[in-house]
């Protein structure tokens, strides 16, 4: 079967057509396509003839050139601007005159292949996100923050069954360091949420302009990272507050910080969903997340970006379930602090001792089912959060992009870890 039959066109034959057309030039008023007379073109055509190419179909090469160029430009606009309309931003490497040079460029057989590489690179390059929100340091910081909260939670549960002396020493060290850690993560997460909300306003402006051209701007993909930002200001914040409340170290200062951070995170989480409703559900399902699926097999990969994790039909119920879980736990901490600070605390204590309902609730809290249920709930929350993180790490984060700000984002957690070991050594 011939390589040059249209049903067999693929990336290989695309490169062959590109190389072949560079050996031709045009003559006469009708721009007839004829082989170039230089030795390089003659040698190239001889190689193609040995592979079975027929000189009589060289006009087909020009038709294929038009088709390939149009296809590549269409793919570029689908990938980068979410539209098929040409608004003048086509890469020069994807134009027909560059991909398939005739006349003065026809003596250079390498030129067209290099142009094809440049065009495919422009098409296949992953969509980049704002490094201030999706840099390697910022995402690493989110993972470290969540990791510290998880380790502290598991350690405190494990210390419940250890000897009293060991329990007191380690529990005191963990809780004391968690207080400063919680302040740090509230300040850090709040700053990130504010930055995300400011970015959202910029994207709204760009989207309004692009939508007039029936397109969506490339930075609309930055909206998808706001989900990850919001989760980082919800899940570890509420879990740490629960740990501090369990051991009586919650203060109004910490609770207010937590509420402010979670309010900002809720805004960051809700804005993309509310705003993109104006474009319709298909736009939301396709573009709110790293989900350019199976669009470019010619790029050398069946998937450029993960589809399942970006689909809002999958993500939205889970996201709001996680949000509700964090809100319920935070409200429980707030209620407990309010009760403990009430002037009627003694009355509440006597009700707790005498009431059958209070006794029943107290027995549930002391049963082994409660810690297991609590661990399962938080495991689901963090599991989904890490699932989102992995999608962005794999497809959009540049691992070598360690700027000063990215390093600071990671180093911000060092004092809390250092304080734990310092207290442990002192005791």
Tens of pLDDT, residue by residue over 345-383, are 555 555 455 555 544 445 544 555 667 777 888 888 888
- What is the pTM assigned to this prediction? 0.67
Mean pLDDT of 137-152: 89
CA distance 393 to 382: 16
Average pLDDT, the chain: 70
CA distance 122 to 81: 12
Task: Give the confidence band of 26 by pLDDT, cuts at 50, 70, 90.
Answer: low
Task: Give the confidence band of 320 by pLDDT, cuts at 50, 70, 90.
Answer: confident
- 206 or 266: which leads in pLDDT: 266
CA 3 to chain centre: 40
Tens of pLDDT, residue by residue over 84-115, are 444 555 666 677 666 666 544 444 445 556 76
- 335 close to 424: Cβ distance less than 8 angstroms: no
Confidence (pLDDT) at 85: 45
Confidence (pLDDT) at 257: 93
- 138 close to 132: Cβ distance less than 8 angstroms: yes
Choose from 131-140, 296-305, 368-377 the range with maximum mean pLDDT.
131-140
Which of 4-13, 241-250, 377-386 is predicted least confidently?
A: 4-13
Mean pLDDT of 65-76: 67
From the number of C-beta atoms within 10 Å of its C-beta (0-12, 13-18, 19+), residue 140 rates as: buried
- 27 close to 103: Cβ distance less than 8 angstroms: no
- 285 close to 363: Cβ distance less than 8 angstroms: no
């Amino acid at each position: 079967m011939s390589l040059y039959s249209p049903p067999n066109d693929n990336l290989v034959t695309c490169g062959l057509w590109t190389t072949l057309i560079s050996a031709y030039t045009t003559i006469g008023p009708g721009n007839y396509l004829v082989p170039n007379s230089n030795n390089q073109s003659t040698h190239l055509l001889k190689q193609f003839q040995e592979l079975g190419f027929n000189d009589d179909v060289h006009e087909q090469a020009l038709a294929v050139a038009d088709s390939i160029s149009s296809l590549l430009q269409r793919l570029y606009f689908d990938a980068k601007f979410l539209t098929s309309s040409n608004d003048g931003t086509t890469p020069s490497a994807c134009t027909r005159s560059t991909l398939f040079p005739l006349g003065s460029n026809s003596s250079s057989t390498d030129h067209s292949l290099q142009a094809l590489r440049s065009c495919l690179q422009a098409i296949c390059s992953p969509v980049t996100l704002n490094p201030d929100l999706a840099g390697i340091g910022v995402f690493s910081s989110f993972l470290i923050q969540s990791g510290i909260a998880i380790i502290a939670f598991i350690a405190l549960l494990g210390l419940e069954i250890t000897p009293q002396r060991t329990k007191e020493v380690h529990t005191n060290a963990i809780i004391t360091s968690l207080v400063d850690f919680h302040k740090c993560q509230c300040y850090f997460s709040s700053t990130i949420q504010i930055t995300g909300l400011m970015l959202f306003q910029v994207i709204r402006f760009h989207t309004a302009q692009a939508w007039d051209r029936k397109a969506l701007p490339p930075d609309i993909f930055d909206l998808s990272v706001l989900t990850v930002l919001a989760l980082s200001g919800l899940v570890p914040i509420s879990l740490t507050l629960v740990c501090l409340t369990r051991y009586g170290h919650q203060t109004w200062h910490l609770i207010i910080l937590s509420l402010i951070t979670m309010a900002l995170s809720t805004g960051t989480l809700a804005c993309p969903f509310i705003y993109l409703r104006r474009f319709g559900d298909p736009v939301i399902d396709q573009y709110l997340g790293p989900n350019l699926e199976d669009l470019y097999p010619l790029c050398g990969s069946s998937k450029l970006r993960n589809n399942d994790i970006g689909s809002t039909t999958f993500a939205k119920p889970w996201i709001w379930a996680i949000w509700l879980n964090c809100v319920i736990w935070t409200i429980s901490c707030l209620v407990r602090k309010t009760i403990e600070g009430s002037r009627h605390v003694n009355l509440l204590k006597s009700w707790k001792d005498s009431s059958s309902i209070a006794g029943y609730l107290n027995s549930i809290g002391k049963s082994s089912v409660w810690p297991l249920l609590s661990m399962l709930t938080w495991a689901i929350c963090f599991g989904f959060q890490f699932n989102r993180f992995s999608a962005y790490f794999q497809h959009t984060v540049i691992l070598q992009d360690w700027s000063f700000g990215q390093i600071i984002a990671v180093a911000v957690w060092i004092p809390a870890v250092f304080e734990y070991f310092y207290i442990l050594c002192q005791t």
